[in-house]
Amino acid sequence: MPLKTEAGAHLVWLTIILTSPVSLTAQDGEEPLKWDNQLFLGNKVAAVKGNWKYSGELQVRLKENSQTLDRWFLEGVATYMPSRHWEIVPDYRFSIKPANIEHRPGLGILRKDLFGPEESQRHQLVHQLKWQADIGPEYVNHGIRYVFFYNYILNEQLIPNAAAGVFYRWSEGFTGLQFIRLGAGLAYVIDIKHSLNFSYFLGITDTGAGWTYQGIPFVQLIININRDYKYVPAKYINF
């Protein structure tokens, strides 16, 4: 299916934004905002072959009313799909923060189910359970997350979705429920290889000194190199 002129213009505009350098710096000596408007921008490339799915993503995250760089990172994921219901997902994230560099290996398990008539299964439910280790120069912080995703294929171009999850942290400085996140979005399928995800999430964070809240628009361009899969992959956002 040919790329429409208007959709192509949007794709070029988004690509320019995602590849532009970010020169914002952190503001020291300020208290955390009780409500913070953040912004996530991502560019993801994915390929599926048989029982395996591979992806790489470049993402930029802004905080403090989108005026300060929180981090940018590169993430690689190799997903093994042993059956139509399960996926085993090891991943690795390399993050650049204003103060340090962080490595984050992770290992997740996904349970996915499709519902609806056999010839048109439009509903997908995905459960994600994942362990991760955030490794900095002088720390190793562990965490476990559970996230629930729902996707509905409205038509060939529009896929509304919703997500909700919690994150439990244990480390020297903090142990307990640290993050809660929930939101909804819309995936726009431009053509067989390109799609855009538009989402908005409410984040709730325990800083140790109290709870703070975040409003997070998330825009993600996905480029699918191929779709040669044996089982339908789970559709989810790897926070």
* All structural domains of the chain: 5-19+35-229 (2.40.160.40)
- What long-range pairs does 58-62 form, CB within 8 A, spacing at least 24? 58/18, 59/220, 60/18, 60/22, 62/22, 62/24, 62/38
Please say if the pLDDT value at position 6 is more than 50: no
Please give the pLDDT value at position 117: 84
Cα 224 to its chain centre, rounded Å, is 16
Overall average pLDDT of the 182-209 stretch: 95
Please say if the pLDDT value at position 5 is more than 90: no
Task: Quote the CA–CA distance of 30 and 27 in Å, as a whole number.
Answer: 7
Please give the pLDDT value at position 31: 59
Overall average pLDDT of the 176-204 stretch: 96
Please say if the pLDDT value at position 163 is more than 90: yes
- Start-to-end CA distance of the chain, whole Å, equals 31
Please say if the pLDDT value at position 10 is more than 60: no
Please give the pLDDT value at position 28: 46
Task: Quote the CA–CA distance of 52 and 50 in Å, as a whole number.
Answer: 6
Supply 98's token pair.
Answer: 């204003």
Residue type, 231: Y
Please give the pLDDT value at position 186: 98
Instruction: Write out pLDDT tens, residues 34-67.
Output: 999 999 999 999 999 999 999 999 999 999 999 9
Is residue 74 within 8 Å of residue 60, measured between CB atoms?
A: no
Please say if the pLDDT value at position 24 is more than 80: no
Please give the pLDDT value at position 189: 96
Supply 101's token pair.
Answer: 């560099």
Please give the pLDDT value at position 32: 58
Name the pLDDT band for 25 (thresholds 50, 70, 90). Answer: very low
Please give the pLDDT value at position 162: 98
DSSP, res 208: S
Please give the pLDDT value at position 228: 86
Please give the pLDDT value at position 39: 98
Please give the pLDDT value at position 12: 42
Please say if the pLDDT value at position 131 is more than 80: yes
Residue reference for tokens 């591979």? 54
Task: Quote the CA–CA distance of 58 and 44 in Å, as a whole number.
Answer: 6
Read off φ and ψ for residue 17, nearest 5 degrees: -65, -45
In this prediction, what percent of the chain has a pLDDT beyond 70? 86
Is residue 3 within 8 Å of residue 195, measured between CB atoms?
A: no
